Amino acid sequence: MINDEYFLAALRLATGNDPMPGHVSAAARDAFGLRVPHSVTAGPAECSAVRGVRDDDGSHLVRFVAAGLTFDLEVSEGDGLIDVAGLISPYPGEGALVDVRTPHLTLTRRIAHTGHFAATGLPPGWISVVCHRPGQAPVQTTWVRIRP
């Protein structure tokens, strides 16, 4: 595993320029910390029922697909917070968990045998969902920005 400080020092040496400002290094460390090691990334997918647009009630529907899993997410906003209702199909198996993540908060939920899960009270902004399956690599969605 690469030590973060050595990695940033190597980048500085490779550029041959003045050292990076402290806030740039801090932002790079924060972004690096959001990764899920050894995960597969699920990208957005089209579907006639799920278009990634806002419905009349203000909810946002989006689908992600990778590694044999489909993530259907309905994101709604209320009282300045975000709620996520999701379905992972096919059911990822007994003991599977899902993390609904923001840059500053992660809510871990069990996945029902139907593949459903929910997380409420998230701050608006960037979210990503990670499915942890026993004995397999995690699958994470790309980050999606949800604005009120």
89-98 confidence digits (pLDDT tens): 999 999 999 9
Instruction: Report the mean per-residue pLDDT for the chain.
Output: 85
CATH of domain 40-146: 2.60.40
Q: Which amino acid is at 3?
A: N
Instruction: Note whether 122 and 142 are within 8 A (CB).
Output: no
pLDDT value at position 20? 72
pLDDT value at position 47? 66
Longest distance between any two alpha carbons in the chain, whole Å: 55
| Residue 85, pLDDT above cutoff 50 | yes
29-79 confidence digits (pLDDT tens): 777 666 777 889 898 997 655 444 455 566 889 999 998 999 999 999 888
CA distance 81 to 36: 25
| Residue 83, pLDDT above cutoff 90 | yes
Q: Does pTM top 0.85 for this prediction? A: no
pLDDT value at position 11? 77
- Looking at per-residue pLDDT, the higher value among 22 and 66 belongs to 66
Query: Which DSSP helix (H) or strand (E) runs through 97?
Result: strand 97-101
Q: Say which residues have a Cβ less than 8 Å from residue 17's Cβ, sequence separation at least 6.
A: none
Instruction: Note whether 11 and 2 are within 8 A (CB).
Output: no
pLDDT value at position 52? 47
| Domain spans of the chain, in order of start | 4-33, 40-146
Sign of CA dihedral 21, 22, 27, 28: positive
| Residue 135, pLDDT above cutoff 80 | yes
